[in-house]
A = this chain, B = another copy of it.
Amino acid sequence: WEMILPKRLKRMYDVLNERTRYITVLIEAVDDPHNQAAVLRTAEAFGVQDIHIVTGKAPFSPNRLVTRHADQWLTLHRQPDIETAINDLKQQGYQVYASYLGEGTIPLSDIDVSKPTALLFGNEHSGVSDEALKLADGTFVIPMYGFVQSFNISVAAALALYDVTERARRQAGTRYYLSSNEKKALYQQWMWQTL
């Protein structure tokens, strides 16, 4: 890295230094293109690099007016089904926390961020599947105080990422950030695709 960089490279450099794989997102059957796009945009804004995707009834085709090109900076992982997705994440060392509004769920702020954590969000109507709930290491809920029964999924993902990345940034130290090699690889990929 050179000391003086053109503005654009400087920006890449700054963003790379805030990037994380310590926190990741898995979406299951999020069908609305507006919601798909909003999750990508928010994750990118919080520096979360990887998004794992299991489609439901609708294809994955995030609304381009909403993403604002966030997808171009992210690493999207398509998974054939929820079992493969969760087992893959576990094998990579993640604990998987599923958002869940039912009984026995812990508040968002109680998720232990001393380990790499994947947050799982579910379908607009049916939520996270039973299969996913069985495979997950735990479930969490964002506390609600009104009549409305749930947040929109894009809002829920934003609130969860805000809380979890903020705490992990403080607690996980250097483990939160990418290694030099990871940064280099990502930098090359970004350079390549912006050519």
Contact = CB atoms under 8 A, between A and B. Distances in A.
Nearest to A152: B38
B47 A146 contact: yes
A66 B44 CA distance: 24
Contacts of A66: 152
A60 interface: no
Contacts of A18: 145-146
Contacts of A149: 68
A42 interface: yes
A13 interface: no
A46 interface: yes
A45 B150 CA distance: 8
A195 interface: no
A70 B159 contact: no
Contacts of A46: 144-146
Interface in A148-162: 148-152, 154-155, 158-159, 162
Interface string A23-58: 000000000001000100110111100000000000
A165 to B, nearest CB: 8
